Amino acid sequence: MVMNLFSPVKPNHSLFDKHKSVVEQAIDSVHKREYFAQYPEMPSPKVYGETAESEQKAIFEGQVNNFFSRLMQSSDSQLVCEECSPYTGKPLSISYPACSNARGYIQHAMSAAPDWMRTDVQTRAGILVEALERMKDAFFEIAFATMHTTGQAYLMSFQASGPHAADRALEAIAIGFQELTRFPQQQVSWDKPAGKVNLKLLKFYTTVPRGLALAIGCSTFPVWNTLPGVFASLITGNPVIVKPHPKAIYPIAIVVAIIQKVLAENGFSPDLVMLAVDTEAKPIAKQLAEAAEIKIIDFTGGNSFGQYVESLPGKVTFTEMAGVNSVIIDSVRDLNAMAQNLAFSICLYSGQMCTAPQNIFVPASGIKAGGEHVSLAQVEEALIQAIKGLAEHPKAGPAVLGAIQSRATHERIAEADKSVGKGKVLLASQPLTNPDFPDILAATPLLLEIPATEQAVYKKEMFGPIAYIIPTSDTQESIKLASDLATACGAISCAAYTTEDDVMLQIAEAMANSGTPVSFNLTGGIYVNQSAAFSDFHVTGGNPSGNASLTDPEFVLKRFTRTQARVNLAD
Amino acid sequence: MVMNLFSPVKPNHSLFDKHKSVVEQAIDSVHKREYFAQYPEMPSPKVYGETAESEQKAIFEGQVNNFFSRLMQSSDSQLVCEECSPYTGKPLSISYPACSNARGYIQHAMSAAPDWMRTDVQTRAGILVEALERMKDAFFEIAFATMHTTGQAYLMSFQASGPHAADRALEAIAIGFQELTRFPQQQVSWDKPAGKVNLKLLKFYTTVPRGLALAIGCSTFPVWNTLPGVFASLITGNPVIVKPHPKAIYPIAIVVAIIQKVLAENGFSPDLVMLAVDTEAKPIAKQLAEAAEIKIIDFTGGNSFGQYVESLPGKVTFTEMAGVNSVIIDSVRDLNAMAQNLAFSICLYSGQMCTAPQNIFVPASGIKAGGEHVSLAQVEEALIQAIKGLAEHPKAGPAVLGAIQSRATHERIAEADKSVGKGKVLLASQPLTNPDFPDILAATPLLLEIPATEQAVYKKEMFGPIAYIIPTSDTQESIKLASDLATACGAISCAAYTTEDDVMLQIAEAMANSGTPVSFNLTGGIYVNQSAAFSDFHVTGGNPSGNASLTDPEFVLKRFTRTQARVNLAD
C-alpha cells in the first residue's frame, strides 16, 4: 500500500528547522493581532551593524549607471531602464537582464515551476524566511534605491521597503503556512459504519498551486506593495513574474535577486521568481497579464488598469487601487494635538500614500474642542498653522515630505488649485527646498476649502500633497458623505475625532459597512497612514479601492485549490 | 471608553448553547476529515420515529395540487409551478407565494438584512443548527418531494436531500463559525515600543457580510446542491434569495419554510431567506442575478448559464457546472468486483449525478486482472453483464436507476446512440419498467465503445445513463486523455483501478493537477459518485467544472470582508 500518494519533491527542512520559531511566532501573532515585528524598524547601527549603512550606500552608488548583475534568472538581453531620482532629477541609468519577448519570462518561469509546486510547505517556508533574513542585510541599499526612485524620505524608504515590507512578507508566509497545513497532511483513515461491517477508505489530501503569478508593482511603494503578493504566491507553490513600475525597479530587483540566490542554493531554479522590466514606451504588463499561463495577478496602481486586471477572465486577482480617504472631525479634546497629527499625515511623503487623508469633513458651525466651542475657521487655522509649521521647518519639512515621485503628481497641485471653483484656497502650495538636493521635485501641501455640494471635485483621488476641508451641516452629514464616498469611490483609511461614545460607535459601524478601517482620536506618534503587519488588515476588499486585504486568509487561499484521493483498503 | 465598537445586534445565545456541542464536533470533524455524520443516512424508524414516514407521506400527498402555505415570507401573489413527477408523468400543481416583480424579493430581503448582518455568529449558528434539527423532522416529506421532482429513487431521495444535505449545511456552518471567530472578537491592546514610551492603540475587529446572496438550484439535486451555499451565506450574515429550478421547487421550499420559522421565532425577519419561484416561460434568474444588490451567487447547473454567472462584474460567485468524469482502468485484482462497482456507479440515478462516470479508458491490448491477462473484450463483457444484471433486476433496477428527470436527458440517449460513428454499441438502452409506476420516464444505460481519436464525441458531458469505453494505446495514454479532458472540460470525479503503486502515484498526481479527486480500486459498497460531508471536498475549483469547493474555507471567506477600528488611548 502506498503510504503517501502526494509525496513532496525535494523536501529539505534544514532551513525550516532554522527558522521554525520565526514562522510559529508569526502564525501566533497574526492570529492574536497584538504588536509584533520581526524586523526592527529603526535603522539603528546597533541592530543592523555599525558599517551597514555606509557599506550599502557605496553599493548603491556603484550600482547607479551600471548593469544590475545580481539576478540569476534566464535572460537573452539587457534593458536600460528609465528610473530617475526625484531628488536629483538625474536618471539612474541602471540596465537589467531581460527577455526580448514577454513570452520568454513565461516560458522560463513555467519550466522552473514543477519542483516548487510539488515540494512541501516546510521546504518553501524555510527558503522564503531565509530570503527575508538575507534581505535584512540589504535594507540600507534598498532604502537608498527606494529614496531615489520613489522620492520617499530616507527614513521612510528604510522602514517601508525594509522592515515593514519584510514583516508583511513574513505575515503572508505565516498565513500561507497555516492554511496549507490546516487539513491533514498525512493519510486519513475514513471508517464509515455500514451495518455489520465498516466501509473503509484511506484518504490523502493535497493542495494544488493555481499556476504562474504576475505581480505588478507601483512607483511609490515598489517593495511594500509587491512583496506580500510575491511571498503569498511563492509559499503556496506558484512561480512569480515580478513586473515593477518602469520608474521603480531597483528596490525590488534587490529583493528578487536575493530570493533567486536562496532558491538556487537550495536546488530550485532561480527562474521561480523572475524580474520582468519594461519601459513606458514599450510596456509588457498587458502581454503578461493576458497570457493563458498567468493564473494569479497582484496589482497595485491606478483604477483603469486595476479594473482591466479584475475583468480578465480566468484569473485570480488581488488589487489595490485609488482610495479617497476621509477625516471626520466631530469633537476633540485638544485641537492643536489633532491638527499636528493630521498635518503630519497630510505632509508625510507629500500625500503619496494610499492611506493619506484627503477629505476633511467638519461641521460648518464648528466643533467642541476641550469642551469649548471652536469655529470652523479656528479648526482650519489650527490645521494651516500645523501644516506650515511642519512643511516649512527646515529640518522636519524635507524629512517628512520627501520628494514628489512624478511630474504628473506635481502638476496635479496646480490642477487642484485651478479647480477650486466655489471653494477657496486655505493654504497655497509652495516649492519645497532641500539643502541637500537643490534639484528636488517637491512642494508643500495645498489645502482647499470646498463646499459639500461640490462632490465632483472631492470624490476624485487627488494623489499628492492636496487636501480639502469640506464644511458640512453636521457630523451626521459628515458620516454620510464619508461612508457614501468610500462605498462609491473606495477608501483605504479614515481618521475620525470625537469625544462622544455614541458618535464613535456610529462612525465605526458606517465606515465598516463601507469597507473602511477607522482610526479614532489619533494624536502624538501614531498616524492614520500607518498599517502594521500582523495586526492591521490593509485594504478590506469591501469597497472599490481593492478586492484584497493584506493579509487575510483569502489572500493566500485563492492561490491554490485543495483536492484529494481515496483508496479502497478492502480491495 | 467604548468597550466594544462593534456590538452585536439582538445577540441571543440560547440556541447556540443548546447546539454548541454539535458545532464544536462539526468544526473538529471538518478539520480531522475522518468519518462524521450528524444526521443518520438510513431512514430507520428507530432513528426517525416509527410513524414519521407514513405521517410525512400523508403531508406530501396533501400538498400535491395545493398551495404551499408554510412560507412566512412577504409576497403579493401566488404562482402555480411546473413541477411534474418523472414517476407518474403528472404535474404536482403546487402553487407558491410569489412576488409579482423580481425586485420585490430583493426589497424584502434587503429590508430584513440589517439585524442579521449585525448580530453575532453564535446567534446565527444557534438558529441555523436549530433549523437543521427541525429539517430532520421533515426528511421523509423532503424525500417524497425529491423523488417526485427529480426522479431519484426513494432511498437516494431520502439520503441526498435529507441527512447528506443537512450534513453539508452543518459543515458550512462549522467552517463559517471557525472563520468568523478566527481573529479576536474582543478589543486587542496594541502596544508598540517606541523608545522611552510605548505607542498604544485599542483595536477592534469585525466582519462585514458582502450583501444579498442568490442561490440558483438545479433540477436533480434541489436540496443537496442548494443548502451549502444558503447556509454559508446565512452564517456569514448575508440574506439569501433561493431561486430553485422551476421543475424542482417543493423539496427546497420545505427547508426554506423551516428556516423562516426558526428565524421568526427568534425575532428575525423570515424574509432573510426568500423562495423566489419562476416558470420556464418566465424565468427570473437573470433579473435577480444582475441586480446591483446581489453580491453573492451560488449556482449549480449547465455551463452556459454558469459561465454567464461567473462573468457578471462585481459579484462573488460559487459555481458547479458540467464535468466529464473519467475512469482509468490499468489493472485489477478482481475483474467482476470492479465491473459490479462501476456498473452501480453508471446506473445510480441513471447517470444524473455530477459525479457519475462517463468515459472509461482501457488499454486496447487488455489489462491484468488477478494476475492474468484479460482482453479489452473481456473487460467490456464483464461491465455489460454487470450493468444488465443490475438494470434488468426487477427489484434492484428501479431502486438504483430511479427515473429520468427530464425529456431532454431521455432524448440524449437516442442522440448518443446516433453519434456512435466510428464506434460501436456495446449495450443498447432499453425502456426500464417499474411495477409501481407504469408511466415512469426511465431507461437502462447505453454503453458505447468510441475510439480515442473521437474526442468530439466523448469530451461533451452526456448527462444521463450514457457511458463510453475508450480503448487506448496504454495506461499512459489513458492518464493523459483523462487529465487533459479534466483540465479542458472539467471533471468532478475520477475512478481508477490499478494494482501498481507507481501507476497509482502517477494517476493521483496527474488528476490532482487537473483539479480532480481520484478514487482508487473501489469495490463493494463504496462508489465514486459519493462525496461525504466533513471529509470529501466536492468540486475543487481547479478545473472548468466549477469555481468553488464544498466546503473549503474559501467557500465561506468570500462571503464577508474583515475590517477594524483603532482607538488612541493616549488622547
Domain holding B69: CATH number? 3.40.605.10
Q: Do B512 and A562 touch (CB under 8 A)?
A: no
Structure confidence by residue, pLDDT tens digits, A182-191: 999 889 999 9
Residue B24 in any domain: the answer is: no
Whether A2 contacts chain B with CB within 8 A:
yes
Chain A nearest-CA residue for B37 = A192
- Domain of residue A487, residue span: 326-520
Q: What is the pLDDT of residue B177?
A: 98
CB contact (8 A) between residue B33 and residue A183? yes
Q: Residue B508 and residue A562: Cβ atoms within 8 Å?
A: no
For residues A493-505, give the mean pLDDT. 97
Task: Give the torsion sign (CA, B290, B293, B296, B299).
Answer: negative
Contact call for B199 and A509, based on CB within 8 A: no
Residue of B nearest to A37 (CA): B192
Residues 6+ apart with CB under 8 A from B430: B391, B392, B443, B444
Nearest to B568 by CA among A341, A338, A523, A36: A523
What's the confidence (pLDDT) of residue B419?
Answer: 83
What pLDDT is recorded for position A186? 82
Within a domain: residue B44? no
Query: Looking at A131-140, B187-196, B437-446, which range is the least confident one?
Result: B187-196
- B201 in contact with A at a CB cutoff of 8 Å? yes
Query: Are B59 and B171 in a shared domain?
Result: yes
Burial category of B435 from C-beta neighbours within 10 Å (exposed 0-12, middle 13-18, buried 19 and up):
exposed
pLDDT at A495: 98
Give contacts of B563 with chain A, Cβ < 8 Å. 511-512, 515-517, 537, 540, 542
DSSP B131-161: HHHHHHTTHHHHHHHHHHHH---HHHHHHHH
A179: chain B residues, CB-CB within 8 Å: 553
Q: Which parts of B49-95 fold into alpha helices (H)? A: 52-63
CB contact at 8 A, B343 and B509: no
The reply to whether B491 and B426 lie within a common domain is yes
Best interface-test mutation with A: which of B192, B196, B333, B497 has the largest number of A CBs within 10 A? Answer: B192
Residue A476's pLDDT band, with cuts at 50, 70 and 90, is very high
Nearest-Cα distance to chain B for A189, in Å, is 6
Report the sign of the C-alpha dihedral through residues A212, A217, A223, A224, in that order. Answer: negative
Instruction: Looking at the structure, tell me whether residues B290 and B410 fall in a common domain.
Output: no
* Packing angle, helices B163-180 and B154-161, rounded to 10: 10
Is B14 contained in some domain?
no
Query: Are residue A353 and residue A307 in the same domain, yes or no?
Result: no
Count CA atoms closer than 13 A to B153's CA, side-chain side.
18
pLDDT digits (tens, 9 = 90+) for A50-85: 999 999 999 999 999 999 999 999 999 999 999 999
Interface check B5 vs A, CB under 8 A: yes
Question: Quick one: average pLDDT of B352-379?
Answer: 97
In a domain, A390, yes or no: yes
3-class SS at B211? coil
List chain B residues with CB under 8 Å of A563. 511-512, 515-517, 537, 540, 542
Tens digit of pLDDT for each residue in B35-88? 999 999 999 999 999 999 999 999 999 999 999 999 999 999 999 999 999 999
Closest partner CB to B562 (pick from A532, A540, A561):
A540
Q: Under an 8 A CB cutoff, do A188 and B501 touch?
A: no
Q: Are residues B259 and B397 in the same domain?
A: no
Closest Cα partner for A105 from A272, A309, A339, A338? A272
- The CA distance from B32 to the nearest CA of chain A, in Å, is 7
CB B130 within 8 A of CB B19: yes
User: ipTM, 2 decimals?
Assistant: 0.96
Tens-digit pLDDT profile for residues A539-548: 999 999 999 9
What pLDDT, in 10s, does the model give residues B379-402?
999 999 999 999 999 999 999 999
Q: Do A188 and B504 touch (CB under 8 A)?
A: no
Q: Which residues face A360 on adjacent strands?
A: A327, A469
| Same domain, yes or no: B435 and B488 | yes
- The model's pLDDT over B154-198, given as tens digits with 9 standing for 90+, comes to 999 999 999 999 999 999 999 999 999 999 988 999 999 988 889
Q: What is the pLDDT of residues A287-314, one digit of tens each?
A: 999 999 999 999 999 999 999 999 999 9
Query: Is B179 close to A553, i.e. CB distance below 8 A?
Result: yes
* Domain match, A297 and A310 both: yes
Q: How many domains does chain B have?
A: 2
Closest CB to B5: pick one of A192, A337, A508: A508
Q: Are residues A347 and A316 in the same domain?
A: no
Q: Are B466 and B357 in contact (CB under 8 A)?
A: no
Co-location of A449 and A503 in the same domain: yes
Grid cell locating A74:
534566464
Confidence of residue A420 (pLDDT cuts 50, 70, 90): confident
pLDDT digits (tens, 9 = 90+) for B200-212: 999 999 999 999 9
- Shared domain check, A564 and A483: no
* DSSP codes of every residue in A279-321: -SSS--HHHHHHSTTEEEEEEES-HHHHHHHHHSTT-EEEEE-
CA B263, CA B265: separation in Å to the nearest integer?
6
Same domain, B316 and B333: no
Angle at which helix A121-136 crosses helix A163-180, to 10 degrees, equals: 170
Confidence of residue B224 (pLDDT cuts 50, 70, 90): very high
Cα–Cα distance for residue pair B209/B11, rounded to 1 Å? 17
pLDDT score, position B571: 63
Half-sphere exposure of B413 (CA within 13 A, CB side): 22
Q: Cα-flanking dihedrals φ and ψ of residue B281, to 5°?
A: -75, -30
Q: What is the dihedral of CA B76, B77, B82, B84, to 10 degrees?
A: 100
Smallest Cβ–Cβ distance between B565 and the set A203, A513, A518 belongs to A518
The mean pLDDT of B230-244, rounded to a whole number, is 98
Q: Is the pLDDT of residue A571 over 70?
A: no
* Per-residue pLDDT, A2: 55
The answer to whether residue A31 sits within a structural domain is no
Average pLDDT over chain B, rounded to an integer: 96
The whole-number pLDDT of residue A196 equals 85
| Closest CB from A333, A537, A568 relative to B562 | A537
- The answer to whether the beta carbons of residues A356 and A390 sit under 8 Å apart is no
Range 475-534 of B in CB contact (< 8 A) with A: 501, 504-505, 508-509, 511-513, 515-526, 532
Residues in chain B: 571
Residues of A with CB below 8 A from B344's CB?
none
Tell whether omega for the bond before A88 is within 30 degrees of 0, i.e. cis: no
Question: Other CB atoms closer than 10 Å to residue B484's CB: what's the count?
Answer: 14
Q: Choosing among A6, A116, A192, A199, which should be mutated to test the B contact, i.e. which has the most B CBs within 10 A?
A: A192
For residue B436, tell me if it sits in a domain.
Answer: yes
Q: What percent of chain B has pLDDT over 70?
A: 99
> Which site among B329, B539, B568 would you substitute to test the A interface, given the most A Cβ atoms closer than 10 Å to its Cβ?
B568
Q: Which of residues 90-149 of B touch A (CB under 8 A)?
A: 118
Domain contains A5: no
Q: How far apart are the C-alpha atoms of A199 and A568, rounded to whole Å?
A: 9
pTM above 0.95, yes or no: yes
Residue A23: what residue type?
V
In a domain, A239, yes or no: yes
Mean pLDDT along residues A8-16: 97
Predicted pLDDT of residue B195: 84
Q: What are the E-state strand segments in B418-559?
A: 424-427, 446-449, 466-472, 494-497, 518-520
A349-369 pLDDT tens trace: 999 999 999 999 999 999 999
pLDDT value for A429:
97
User: How many angstroms away from the CA of A543 is the closest CA of chain B?
Assistant: 10
For B181, name the nearest residue in chain A, comparing CA atoms only. A31
pLDDT > 70? residue A395: yes
> Shortest CB distance from B2 goes to which of A504, A532, A562?
A504
The pLDDT of A434-463, averaged and rounded, is 96
Task: Find chain B residues with C-beta within 8 A of A118's C-beta.
Answer: 509
Write the residue in B7, B193, B542 that is nearest to A561 by C-beta: B542
Q: Does B571 touch chain A (CB under 8 A)?
A: yes
C-alpha–C-alpha distance, residues A339 and A327, integer Å: 12
Three cell numbers written together for A225: 506593495
**Contact at CB, B549 and A536, closer than 8 angstroms:** no
A:167-186 residues touching chain B, CB 8 A cutoff: 179, 182-184
- Is the distance from CB of B470 to CB of B450 less than 8 angstroms? yes
Per-residue pLDDT, B1: 54
Contact A566 B204 (CB under 8 A): no
Chain A residues inside the 8 Å CB shell of B204: 508
Nearest Cα residue to B427 out of B416, B438, B439, B435: B416
DSSP state, residue A443: B
Range 307-336 of B in CB contact (< 8 A) with A: 311, 313, 333-334
Residues A132 and A207 in one domain: yes
**For A197-209, what is each residue's pLDDT tens digit?**
899 999 999 999 9
